[in-house]
Amino acid sequence: MFKTVYPAFFFPSLLCGGLMAVSLAQTGRPSTAADFSSSARRAVDLAKTGHCKDALPLLKKSAAHIADKDLKRDVGFAGVRCAMVADQPDAAIDFLRSLNHEFPRDPDVLYLSVHTYSDLSTRASAELANAGPNSYQAQELNAEALEVQGKWDEAAAVYRQILKQNPGLSGIHYRLGRVLVSKPEFGPAAAEEAKQEFEQELQIDPANAGAEYVLGEMAKQKQQWDEAIQHFSRAAKLDAGFGDAFVGWGGCLVSLKKFSDAIPPLETAVKLESQNPSAHYMLAIAYARTGRKEDGDREFAIQKHLTQKGAAGEAPESQQNPN
Query: 161 lies in which domain range?
Result: 132-205
* Residue 81 falls inside a structural domain: yes
Task: Give the tens place of pLDDT for each residue, 130-158.
Answer: 999 999 999 999 999 999 999 999 999 99
Q: Which of 290, 291, 226, 235 is nearest to 268 (CA)?
A: 235
pLDDT in the model for residue 185:
83
User: What is the three-class DSSP state of 281?
Assistant: helix
Whether 30 and 107 share a structural domain: yes
Mean pLDDT by 10 residues, the chain (323 residues): 40 37 42 81 93 94 90 95 95 96 95 95 91 93 93 96 95 96 88 96 97 97 97 97 98 97 98 96 97 96 90 43 43
Find the helix or strand (DSSP H, E) in which 275 lies: none
Q: Is the CA virtual torsion 76, 82, 84, 90 positive or negative?
A: negative
pTM of the model: 0.73
User: What is the three-class DSSP state of 6?
Assistant: coil
* Residue 191 falls inside a structural domain: yes
Measure the N-to-C terminal CA separation of the chain; round to a whole number of Å: 64
Rounded to whole angstroms, the Cα distance separating 35 from 110 reads 30
Rounded to whole angstroms, the Cα distance separating 140 from 147 reads 10
Which of 153, 188, 205 terminates a domain? The answer is: 205
Whether 145 and 92 share a structural domain: no
Whether 81 and 100 share a structural domain: yes
* Residue 7 falls inside a structural domain: no
* Residue 225 falls inside a structural domain: no
DSSP of 193-206: HHHHHHHHHHHH-T
Rounded to whole angstroms, the Cα distance separating 129 from 294 reads 60
The CATH number of the domain holding residue 43 is 1.25.40
* Maximum Cα interatomic distance, the chain, rounded to a whole number of Å: 80
The CATH number of the domain holding residue 197 is 1.25.40.10
Q: Which of 117, 182, 85, 191 is nearest to 143 (CA)?
A: 182
Whether 126 and 38 share a structural domain: yes
pLDDT in the model for residue 310:
73
pLDDT in the model for residue 323:
42
pLDDT in the model for residue 16:
37
Length of the chain in terms of residues written = 323
* Domains identified in the chain, total number: 3
Task: Give the tens place of pLDDT for each residue, 268-287.
Answer: 999 999 999 999 999 999 99
pLDDT in the model for residue 80:
96
* Residue 164 falls inside a structural domain: yes
pLDDT in the model for residue 31:
56
Whether 146 and 193 share a structural domain: yes
C-alpha distance from residue 215 to each of 33, 198, 233, 258, 284 (Å): 60, 7, 11, 21, 26
Neighbouring C-alpha atoms within 13 Å toward the C-beta of 107: 0
CA 239 to chain centre: 16
* Residue 115 falls inside a structural domain: yes
Helix ranges, the chain (H): 33-48, 52-62, 69-85, 89-102, 107-131, 136-148, 152-165, 172-182, 188-204, 209-221, 225-238, 243-255, 259-272, 277-289, 293-309
Whether 77 and 100 share a structural domain: yes
